[in-house]
C-alpha cells in the first residue's frame, strides 16, 4: 500500500523538520467524491470528531421529549470543551434538572484544558471534577438517554449497555456502515469507539447536513444538533480553539469538530458536503493546518473567513522568548 501524501510540513529556520502525511475526503450525500487525497478506505477511529452523531439518541430515544434539552446543552453534547465556567455550568445544569449530579458521570476527572480556567480552579482551592472533563456534555446527554429509556444509569459507558447500543446504531444509520467488534476500542472518556473507513464518516456528515438517505427523525435531530453547535461555537470547544474560531466566523455554514489523534470531521452545510480528515502521526496542529488548506480550496471563504483559515494553514512557531523560529504549514495540493 502506498504511503499517504504529505499534507502539512513543519519548517524550522530554513529546513523542513517534519513532514506530516494524511488523508482526507469530501463527499456529498449521494456518496459522490468532491475531493480526496490518500487512502480514504482505511478504517480509522473517529474519536471525538463524531460527538454530534453520538448525540443523536437524545432524540431517537426521546430524551429530548422528556427533558427538553436547551440549545446550549445540545451544543455541549457535541463538544470537547475546555472546562471554562459556562461549560461546567451547562453540564451541571442538565444533570441537576434530570435529578443527577457529577457523581453519576463516568468520564473521569481532569483539570480544565483552558489555562485561565485551570488557574481559577486552583486559586479556588477546589479539585477538578468530572464536570471539567472535556466530554462531560456528551456524558450528561447520555445519562439523559438512559433515564428516558428507563435503564440503569450506572455503567452507561459499557459496550453492552443499552445507551451505547443506541449510540452505535445511530452512528451506523448515518455513516451507512456496520461497526464491528473486530475494530473496536475504548475512548479516553471510557465509551466504546469503533473504526470505520474515513470516507464513511465524511458521508455521514453529508447526510446529517442534508437529511438525505436517513430517516426524517434522524434528519431533524441532526439539524437540531448542527444548529445548536454552530450557534454556540464557544461551548463546542473554548476560547481560542480552532473549532470555535471556525464555526464562529463561518456562522451556520460550517459544522466542524476535532477528534483525538489528528482527526477532523464536519460539513460545509450550504454545499451539502461532509468531510473527514486524518493526520497519520496524530499531530493535532498539523491536522488543523491540513483542514484549513482543504477548506480554503473548497468552502468559498469570504475575506474574514479566509483570514482565520490562513492563520491555521500557516501557524507560526515561536521560541520560549517569543521569537519566530519556524512555521507549520498546509501542503494540501
Read off the pLDDT of residues 36-57 as tens digits, 9 standing for 90 and up.
999 999 999 999 999 999 999 9
Answer whether residue 119 is part of any domain.
Answer: yes
Question: Of 239, 205, 262, whose CA–CA distance to 51 is shortest?
Answer: 205
Type and span of the H or E element at 76:
helix 71-77
Give Cβ neighbours of residue 136 (< 8 Å, ≥ 6 apart). 76, 81, 87, 88, 91, 102, 105, 107, 130
Answer whether residue 1 is part of any domain.
Answer: no
Question: Of 191, 170, 165, 195, whose CA–CA distance to 183 is shortest?
Answer: 195
Read off the pLDDT of each residue in 234-248 and give the average, rounded to a whole number: 98
Question: What is the distance between the alpha carbons of residues 239 and 155, in angstroms, rounded to a whole number?
Answer: 32
pLDDT tens track for 264-300: 999 999 999 999 999 999 999 999 999 999 999 999 9
Answer whether residue 46 is part of any domain.
Answer: yes
Phi, psi (degrees; rounded to nearest 5) at 231? -80, -25
Q: What is the dihedral of CA 25, 28, 30, 31, to 10 degrees?
A: 0
Comparing 111 with 1, the larger pLDDT belongs to: 111
Type and span of the H or E element at 173:
helix 162-175
Other beta carbons within 10 Å of 69: 26
pLDDT at 323 over 90: yes
Type and span of the H or E element at 165:
helix 162-175
Answer whether residue 228 is part of any domain.
Answer: yes
Answer whether residue 176 is part of any domain.
Answer: yes
Type and span of the H or E element at 233:
helix 233-236
Count how many domains the chain has: 1
Question: What is the distance between the alpha carbons of residues 241 and 233, in angstroms, rounded to a whole number?
Answer: 10
Pull the grid cell for residue 332: 494540501
pTM: predicted TM-score of the whole model, two decimal places: 0.97
pLDDT tens track for 176-228: 999 999 999 999 999 999 999 999 999 999 999 999 999 999 999 999 999 99
What average pLDDT is seen over the chain? 97
Conformational region of residue 89, where left means phi above 0, alpha means psi within -120 to 50, and beta covers everything else: alpha
| Residue 186 structural domain | 6-330
Residue 183 is part of a domain; what is its CATH number? 3.40.710
Q: Is 37 exposed, middle or buried (0-12, 13-18, 19+ CB in 10 A)?
A: buried
Amino acid at each position: 500500500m502506498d504511503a499517504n501524501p504529505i499534507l502539512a510540513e513543519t519548517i524550522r529556520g530554513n529546513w523542513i523538520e517534519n513532514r506530516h502525511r494524511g488523508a482526507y475526503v469530501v463527499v456529498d450525500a449521494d456518496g459522490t467524491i468532491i475531493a480526496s487525497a490518500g487512502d480514504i478506505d482505511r478504517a480509522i477511529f473517529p474519536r471525538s470528531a463524531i460527538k454530534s452523531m453520538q448525540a443523536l439518541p437524545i432524540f431517537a430515544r426521546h430524551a429530548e421529549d422528556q427533558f427538553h434539552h436547551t440549545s446550549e446543552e445540545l451544543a455541549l453534547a457535541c463538544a470537547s470543551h475546555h472546562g471554562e465556567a459556562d461549560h461546567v455550568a451547562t453540564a451541571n445544569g442538565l444533570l441537576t434538572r434530570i435529578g443527577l449530579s457529577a457523581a453519576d458521570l463516568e468520564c473521569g476527572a481532569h483539570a480544565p484544558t483552558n489555562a485561565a480556567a485551570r488557574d481559577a480552579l486552583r486559586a479556588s482551592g477546589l479539585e477538578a471534577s468530572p464536570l471539567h472533563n472535556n466530554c462531560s456534555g456528551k456524558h450528561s446527554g447520555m445519562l439523559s438517554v438512559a433515564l428516558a429509556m428507563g435503564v440503569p444509569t450506572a455503567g452507561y459507558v459499557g459496550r453492552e449497555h443499552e445507551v451505547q447500543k443506541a449510540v452505535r446504531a445511530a452512528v451506523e444509520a448515518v455513516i451507512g456502515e456496520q461497526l464491528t467488534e473486530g475494530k473496536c476500542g475504548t475512548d479516553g472518556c471510557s465509551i466504546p469507539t469503533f473504526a470505520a473507513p474515513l470516507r464513511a464518516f465524511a458521508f455521514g456528515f453529508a447526510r446529517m447536513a442534508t437529511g438525505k438517505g436517513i430517516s426524517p427523525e434522524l434528519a431533524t435531530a441532526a439539524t437540531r444538533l448542527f444548529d445548536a453547535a454552530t450557534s454556540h461555537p464557544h461551548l463546542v470547544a473554548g476560547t481560542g480553539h480552532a473549532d470555535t474560531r471556525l464555526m464562529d466566523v463561518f456562522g451556520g455554514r460550517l459544522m466542524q469538530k476535532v477528534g483525538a489523534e489528528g482527526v477532523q470531521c464536519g460539513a460545509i452545510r450550504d454545499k451539502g458536503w461532509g468531510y473527514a480528515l486524518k493526520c497519520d502521526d496524530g499531530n493535532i496542529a498539523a491536522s488543523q493546518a491540513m483542514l484549513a488548506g482543504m477548506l480554503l480550496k473548497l468552502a468559498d471563504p469570504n475575506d474574514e473567513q479566509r483570514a482565520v483559515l490562513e492563520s491555521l494553514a500557516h501557524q507560526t512557531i515561536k521560541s520560549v522568548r517569543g521569537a519566530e523560529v519556524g512555521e507549520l504549514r498546509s501542503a494540501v495540493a
